[in-house]
Amino acid sequence: MDGVADMGGAPRWGPVHPPRRHEPVFGEPWQGRAFALAILSSRIACGGVNTDAFRHALERLDRAAYLGDGYYGRWLNGAELMLTERSILAPGAVEARARNLRGEHVDEPPIPEPDRPHYAPTAEGSLRAVDTVPAFAVGESVRARNMSVPGHTRLPGYIRGHVGVVESRQPAAVLPDTNAHFLGENPQHVYSVRFDSRELWGADADPFALTVELYESYLETIS
Amino acid sequence: MTPTGPDAPLPVALRAEALEQLLTERGLIDPKVMNGIITNYESNVGPLNGAKVVARAWTDPEYRRRLLDDGTAAIKELGFSGTQGEHIVVVENTATTHNVVVCTLCSCYPWPVLGLPPSWYKDPAYRSRVVAQPRTVLSEMGLDLADDVRIIVRDSTSEVRWLVLPERPAGTEHLSEAELASLVTRDAMVGVAKVEAP
């Protein structure tokens, strides 16, 4: 979906941070707790692992919740959103408990009746076999569809409308656009598509190539 | 306003503790399972797995061929597989071609071989800029590539996970596979650094 999470080519982010040697996996203990909580909460909220639904939860966080609390804070906020949407948690439950933990005395909301989606992945992970003939061939020029998607998608904004060449075909996989919303797995063929930097960023761009993996419905034939 | 007053912002660490308590009280999570996940990613899963893969490829031409042909299967031969590693594609950096990996949409990363991503990989500056100005970004990170080196940026937009097979540094012909593995850094396997000879 279009928003803060789709960062490719976004301006004004300033210099990158060079790598630090021996950076700890979790800089602070709460980050490890938040990581594990997010993994487990995703299962509690969906009844199965739905990475697409979790990514969509992250995408829907407001800018402060996405950026302000850092990477693991984002995961924690996404987990809370999923749990609240599925009525595992009442709105405000985490905040009320946190206030009580720091010594305030506030009422906590009652536990709601859970409302989980009917969701059962047909297999582990996202790879699936499909029996349709691939619509595009290796070496073929293709255009990424120029479509704005209100829900979840893995079609980045900076690719839309641009022409590339199919570099290879990857294993077929569950379509994130429907799976994230519990509307079915709809597995599709997936293609690695190679774009030229000048096609993406204009004639003055540094010369380089870029590949993205695009699901079949993100692509159209060049007429 | 005191730091503990009702208007003080709630620290994220406290909110993590609150969520853990709420879910534990209802039996929805088990702290032992949580601790197991944390320990696994702190201790077992990490860039050393990927370094072993690279060192094997540098010393065994047949393995290298299998790795470039079917990364997932060749990596599994060494015992590494799992979440965020369902389908790993290995690409080779050479004197004339340089691959660098990013995920502009979130921070997808091949956990079974590299562990959880480092902070720079998750940073908006890296995610936004490396797909538009890779040569400049690599230079800011300490890697200056010659003008005639062809750069290929790999944006991890699907469930394909990329692992870069870095160039073996000159002067390491006498080193054992284990010694070679100790030279291989996570950064080189994402493509923002080269492996240096000792």
**pLDDT tens-place string over residues B81-137:** 999 999 999 999 999 999 999 999 999 999 999 999 999 999 999 999 999 999 999
Q: What pLDDT sits at residue A1? A: 82
* Across A6-20, A183-197, B64-78, B165-179, least confident range: A6-20
Q: Is A165 on the interface with B (CB under 8 A)?
A: no
Q: Is A170 on the interface with B (CB under 8 A)?
A: yes
CA distance A109 to A9: 42
Which of helix, strand or coil describes residue A189? strand
Mean pLDDT of all residues belonging to chain B: 95
Reported as a pLDDT band with limits 50, 70 and 90, residue A114 is very high
Q: What pLDDT sits at residue B2? A: 43
With contacts defined as CB-CB under 8 Å, which chain B residues touch A156?
A: 104-105, 155, 157
* Across A51-55, A113-117, B167-171, least confident range: A113-117
Reported as a pLDDT band with limits 50, 70 and 90, residue A148 is confident
Q: What pLDDT sits at residue B115? A: 96
> Which percentage of chain A shows pLDDT scores above 90?
89
With contacts defined as CB-CB under 8 Å, which chain A residues touch B41?
A: 25, 32, 35
- The residue ranges of every structural domain in chain B are 12-42, 47-190
With contacts defined as CB-CB under 8 Å, which chain A residues touch B141?
A: 16, 18-19
Nearest to A19 among B120, B122, B150 (CB): B120
Query: DSSP string covering chain B, please?
Result: --TTSTTSPPPHHHHHHHHHHHHHHTTSS-HHHHHHHHHIIIIISSHHHHHHHHHHHHH-HHHHHHHHH-HHHHHHHTT---TT-SEEEEEE--SSEEEEEE-SSS----HHHH-SPPHHHHSHHHHHHTTT-HHHHHHHTT-PPPTTPEEEEEE--SSEEEEEEPPPPTT-TT--HHHHHTT--HHHHHTSS-PPP-
Q: Please indicate whether residue B147 or residue B4 has the higher confidence score (pLDDT).
A: B147
Q: Do B158 and A214 touch (CB under 8 A)?
A: yes
CA distance B72 to chain A (A): 12
Q: What pLDDT sits at residue B1? A: 40
**Predicted confidence (pLDDT) at residue B61 exceeds the cutoff of 80:** yes
B108 labelled catalytic: yes
Q: What pLDDT sits at residue B4? A: 54
Does residue A69 contact residue A77 with C-beta atoms inside 8 Å? yes
CA distance A201 to A199: 6
Instruction: Put the strands of the sheet holding A188-196 in their side by side order.
Output: A219-221, A141-144, A163-173, A188-196, A209-215, B150-155, B97-102
* Look-up of token digits 């015992």: B79
**Predicted confidence (pLDDT) at residue B3 exceeds the cutoff of 60:** no
Reported as a pLDDT band with limits 50, 70 and 90, residue B18 is very high
**Predicted confidence (pLDDT) at residue A17 exceeds the cutoff of 90:** no
Mean pLDDT to the nearest integer, B1-5: 50
**Predicted confidence (pLDDT) at residue A7 exceeds the cutoff of 70:** yes
Residue A166 C-alpha from the chain's centroid: 23
Q: How many CB pairs under 8 A join A and B?
A: 234
The domain B47-190 having CATH identifier 3.90.330.10: the answer here is yes
First to last CA, chain B: 55
Q: Which two tokens stand for residue B90?
A: 């290995």
Q: Do A94 and B87 touch (CB under 8 A)?
A: no
Nearest to B120 among A13, A18, A28 (CB): A18
Nearest to B120 among A17, A101, A173 (CB): A17
Q: Which two tokens stand for residue B195?
A: 């492996």
CA distance A223 to chain B (A): 25
Q: Which positions 180-219 of A are in contact with B (Cβ < 8 Å)? A: 190, 192, 194, 197, 200-201, 205-206, 208-215
Q: What residues have CB less than 8 Å from A11, skipping those under 6 apart?
A: B128
Residues in chain A: 223
CA distance A100 to A109: 12
Q: Do A192 and B134 touch (CB under 8 A)?
A: no
With contacts defined as CB-CB under 8 Å, which chain A residues touch B106?
A: 5, 55, 58
Reported as a pLDDT band with limits 50, 70 and 90, residue A191 is very high
Q: Which helix (H) or strand (E) holds A191?
A: strand A188-196
Reported as a pLDDT band with limits 50, 70 and 90, residue A156 is very high
Q: What pLDDT sits at residue A47? A: 85
| pTM, to two decimals | 0.96
**Predicted confidence (pLDDT) at residue B191 exceeds the cutoff of 90:** yes
Q: What pLDDT sits at residue A48? A: 86
Q: What pLDDT sits at residue A90? A: 98
Which ipTM value was assigned to this complex?
0.96
Query: DSSP string covering A139-166, please?
Result: T-EEEE-----SS--S--GGGTT-EEEE
